[in-house]
Chains A and B, each alone.
Chain A
Amino acid sequence: MTRREWLELRRRYTRNLKLRALDYSDASDRALYAPVHEGAHDPVARLMRTIDDDEDQSTQLVAGFRGTGKTTEFSRLEAMLWEGGYLVARVDLDEHIDHHSPIDVREFLLVMAGALGERLLDPRLLGDEAVALGFWSHVSVVLPELPTDLLTVRDAAGVVVQTAEWKRALREDLDFRERVRKAIGGRLALLEGIVRAWHERVLAALQKRHGHARLVLIVDSLEHIRGTYETAPQVHESVRELFLAHGRRLAMPRTHTVFSVPAFMALYADNVAAEFAGSLVAWSACHVFRREGGDLALDADTVARLVELVEKRIEWRRVLRDRDALVDVIKASGGSMRDLLKMLAEALASVPEPDSPPVSAEVPITAVQRGYATLWADQIAVLRKIAAHRGFEGLDSKNREQVAAFLDAGVVLCYLNGDFWYDVHPLMKPRLTAGS
């Protein structure tokens, strides 16, 4: 292989190793896809099973841990649902909500319905028929107090010369949001009624067109809401309140709804179940280890699946010394797709020439390890407890926020085999012993 050819190959591998959501409906992306969760614990299968079992409606929250392939799997879920005869509306809240401000149930109801209204334009759902069902025009009529004047700019003669989109105004215009909240005031039940009534009209239209209205609404990207320095605690609190205090209001009638929510919501799984009569699915990392008593044993099946995933993306023998090295890298990833792909990219970067020797596992492991920030003594203490118990037992309740941050950053990983358990990322574990 010439240097030029090797460079081109490395570039292709670099593209393949990028952490991005695969589009399951795209053939080239599908070629890179490999199922990594085993049947019983495949979260998509679990979501699908719940939808199939609850004939009428269901609500499921997916606590999306980063780097576990959640968005890719949502794409697979969507494909499976269509194949299963469901009508699927997948909305991306990134386009609708302000990531920096606390979210209010009033706006959220509006945003959710508005976003669904947009998705209905998909020819597979209602296509042009959806125009007549537009949520924003509906709500403007039944709630005339809403500040629609802020959405239009008129000239001196009173003629509308410019209009703003509702979704953009709700996302970007603080003043508009504030006016919306004021206009609705405490009449939350009224707003809920309006949204539900509109939703019933949607279902009727779907029924008429498709002969059924088995609608699945996938509400994606709510986990991206973070807040700023100043607002982060309030934003977290608002998300908690949205689902724990208003959860039932968010469940649309005769519709299966799947929300992706921030990882920290996994810590409130019990409360969520009580509020929704639904469930929370924590999207786990692949369990490269099994818990056996107090010890961890390598899960050969999972490792084999991850090797298969790697082989779909890169010819690993060119960059890693042997299969043991690859297994070491997989073990060090802790089943986190994010770090597995990163380590492979680092291995690739360490083989500059076509005839350069493949590297040992230590090279990419060290490279990715240094990407993590140093730990404070109190963080080390908490992580040691998590590592000792493989969970949060024995932690003080005041550590809840800290644990949420660890989950958010992938410093602590969530696993599912048998039941949920947690462990410190293998890349971080050496730091826990270094200071002892």
Chain B
Amino acid sequence: MSGSYLAAKQRLLTQLELDEGFWFTLVAGPDDRPRDRLRRVVRAWCAEHEVPFIDHALAPEELADVARALSLRPTPGVHWVRAGEGRFSVEALDRGFGQLLLAMNERRDAYVRNLRGAVIVEGRASLLRLLQELAPDLFSIAVPLPETGRDPIEGVDEAARDDLVWWHVLPERADEPAAWVERAHRSDAISERFVALTHAAEALMSRREFSHAAPVLTDALALAEACAITDAWTPSLASLRRRCRVWRAALAIEERDVDAALAMIEGASSSDSSDVRLPLAVERGNALWARGERASALDVWTGVVGELRSAIASDQPERVAACAEGAVCVLERGHHIGRAAETFGVWRDAMRVASVRDAISRDEPLQLRMWIAAARTLFHMSVVDRGAINEAVGSLLSIASAVESSGPAAPEWSAFAALAAAEEQAHSGGRSNALAQLSDVLATLERTTAEKQGVAALTWAIVAARAAELAVAVATTSDGEALIHHIIERLRTLRDHPETVRVLRAIREHVTLARSRVLERAGMVDEALRVLDDAFAAPALVGDPLSRVAASIARGRLLQRTGAREEAAKVLRSVIAFAEGVTRGRELSAQWKHFFVYAWRDLGDVYAADKDHEAARRAYQSALTYARRYSRRHLDDVEAVHEVSIALHPLGMCLFHLGEFREAQRLLNEDLALSRRLVALDPDDPMKARDLALCLLSLSRVFDTMGDEIAAREASEEGRDLLRRLALLDPDDAVVETLRKLDPQAPPAGTSGQRGQAPRTRRGHR
């Protein structure tokens, strides 16, 4: 047992004995095992002294209820409050405990007056900060309890003092953590056990098996502390302890326990630590990032990358590796704070150095992270910075060329250059060209890579996801279906890697959405609905939340088309409420804007189908507002222009049904201008042509009502001509077929869902 655990236990028992009124304390620490033991100790004391012990083990969002219940019904006894069984995110825990402490703070005087007993709140080490910052009145009366500490290996104190210098000798299976753990258990010497556990922890960390690595690292560090006061302690062991602390800091970052991370970084920095300075800087950047100091974090990582030249000059591969890690960190996070192009530049310069690429290629998880980040950065730049994406294409091509000339082919570099070029094309309006490029890349990747996991698989999946999305928009129904079917089948064969499990899951969902959209376009509405329900019926805890939002919008629209309008409206309204909650107070991203536009537009369709044109008008107006607001800030984004167009059309038709003909005509004219521009940008994109046709038919109807028969006839003829050509190109396109069968005089309300390709997500690239 650690000293702090014993001190906490003694202090708790003393308080139980002495205080007969209300008192409050925190049982906080990074390890739940000692906390759990303390709970059992207190429960046993209560049983012995016939004091009621009430264990409030609740979901985080229910914790604050305890505070309210205790003021309404101040039941005497010891109230132990903690998060119940289950996996909760750190954010959810902090929020839940924060609300609990706030609510208790407010009721402090009521507890003091009425509650005979204790409230003991158990949780992570961050509870102390929450108490101090959120609940100062409660903090004023809190009994200060030592942190409960971590569970070291029992018997450390009795371990023999052996001189051992074998730690640097790798065992037979260097990457096998179980072998190291076994070796640690077999040994009686503290130093030996420390070394073995450190290696085990390193192996686990490199596999990203964090939950297994945590206790091993904890034990290793505890052993190091015990060993450090013995004669066995050597400079080599001290160096190993510093490494161990860096790993612990890295783990703490993964666990979002910033306090622990900073403590470890401080511990590792306090002595001579030149060998870990750069890894520490990387972790310090992580800690800063976790604290919300994002610009500072990026600066720290950029500083690490800046040491690349000297690392190469001094021929220190470990320093180069740290610089490579810094470069990946920069790339991963830069676009979060609007510095995508700048951070891409830092990364690109680092990647031009062969030794950096080598360092990354030796660390598969790092390499996977890098490519995921690269895909996201490319997409981000393609939306907001076309100049940067053009430059990115050139950079990637030049690196690909350098890679090929210096060694074996590295198809991922060429693939990403092509992906960048396709992104640039797609957002400039050339989606059909982009799809053609990506199809070529997919074919090449399938020819050149047989592997079904790792970087090659990830690269293929990222390109495939983007191709599937484009196929929905620009391929014929049968071609789109064939491509997506192929992608789905191949995705099934890919094996998940811990680093890619989330992104591959997101891509699978993403492609499923695309499939549902193609089925819808083929008129197979029930089948499309079934595909969505099959893919997204699982509990909400798994999967990509953004895909779920997209799926919900698609489901709402499909339900509307099957006639289940009430359910459709319910689904769409709840999606909108959710999206509003998520985006409140933030700048609207392309993804969320996209959701809002389509959700409001589809909801408008539901109202329009119910003949509630006023409600429909408000919904369409909301869609248009979101589309315009974004489009004005991103003038280069052709997708954004398209969304303005698809929001204009239903609003125009809604006003037409309300008798506001002039306003309807004005909006449809604007839509017509935008649709013509979009078709001109990409004449091979059938979706844009369909949209233009529908707009012409609608305008025809408006002109006719306003008595302009010639304009009406011209618009109708042009629209029908377009539809005829589209039907020849893609006979399976049910949307075109539906439009062709419409009464020329009555383009119905609620048909705007035939336009556009929504909803989609780009999270597949994460």
Contacts and interface: CB of A to CB of B under 8 A. Distances in A.
A349 B15 contact: yes
14 contacts: A11-B19, A11-B20, A19-B140, A19-B141, A100-B106, A226-B106, A338-B140, A345-B143, A346-B144, A349-B11, A349-B14, A349-B18, A370-B144, A372-B132
B18 A376 contact: no
Contacts of A14: 18-19
A409 B21 contact: no
Interface string A53-76: 000000000000011000000000
A297 B427 CA distance: 71
Interface in A304-320: none
A210 interface: no
B98 A348 contact: no
B291 A376 contact: yes
A7 B112 CA distance: 22
B198 interface: no
B136 interface: yes
Interface string B233-265: 000000000000000000000000001001100
B641 interface: no
Given A99-B106, A224-B137, A226-B105, A371 B144 contact: yes
A127 B99 CA distance: 40
Contact of A11 (B18, B106, B137): B18
Q: Which of the listed residues B17, B18, B141 has the most CB atoms from chain A within 10 Å of its own CB?
A: B18
B6 to A, nearest CB: 14
A66 B14 CA distance: 26
Contacts of B15: 349
Contacts of B145: 371
Given A94-B109, A349-B11, 8 more contacts: A11-B19, A18-B112, A18-B141, A367-B144, A368-B144, A371-B128, A373-B129, A373-B133
B146 interface: yes
Nearest to A339: B140
B281 to A, nearest CB: 14
A373 B95 CA distance: 18
Nearest to B585: A230
A374 B263 contact: yes
Contacts of B262: 374, 376
B682 interface: no
A354 B19 CA distance: 18
A409 B133 contact: yes
Name B's interface SS: helix
A323 interface: no
Contacts of A410: 136, 140
A66 B102 contact: no
Contact of A373 (B98, B128, B141): B128
B236 to A, nearest CB: 28
B291 A226 contact: no
Interface string A354-385: 00000000000001101111101000000000
Contacts, number: 82
Interface string A398-424: 000000010011100000000000000
A376 B134 CA distance: 17
B132 A15 contact: no
Interface size class of A (residues with CB under 8 A): 35 or more
B733 interface: no
B153 interface: no
A71 to B, nearest CB: 9
A342 interface: yes
Interface string B374-397: 000000000000000000000000
B505 to A, nearest CB: 31
Contacts of A226: 102, 105-106, 134
Residue from B15, B106, B146 having most chain A Cβ neighbours under 10 A: B106
Nearest to B129: A373
B481 interface: no
A66 B136 contact: yes
Interface of A: 7, 10-11, 14-15, 18-20, 66-67, 94, 99-100, 224, 226, 228-229, 338, 342, 345-346, 348-349, 352, 367-368, 370-374, 376, 405, 408-410, 435
B147 interface: yes
A97 to B, nearest CB: 11
Nearest to B291: A376
Nearest to B126: A373
Given A19-B140, A94-B109, A408-B136, A370 B20 contact: no
Contact of A66 (B11, B98, B133, B140): B140
A228 B147 CA distance: 26
B11 to A, nearest CB: 6
B144 A66 contact: no
Nearest to A223: B137
A226 B134 CA distance: 8
Contacts of A10: 18
B747 to A, nearest CB: 43
A70 to B, nearest CB: 12
A63 to B, nearest CB: 14
A405 B133 contact: yes
Nearest to B109: A94
B133 A224 contact: no
Contacts of A342: 144
A435 B270 CA distance: 9
Contacts of B134: 226, 229
The 3 closest A-B pairs by CB, nearest first: A371-B144, A373-B129, A14-B18
A80 to B, nearest CB: 23
Given A11-B20, A100-B102, A370-B147, A409 B137 contact: no
Interface in B1-58: 11, 14-15, 17-21
A100 to B, nearest CB: 7
B14 A370 contact: no
Given A19-B141, A410-B136, A374 B19 contact: no
A188 to B, nearest CB: 28
Nearest to A92: B109
A405 B130 CA distance: 12
A228 B139 CA distance: 16
Interface hub of B109, B132, B133, B140 (most chain A Cβ within 10 A): B140
Interface string B117-142: 00000000000110111101101111
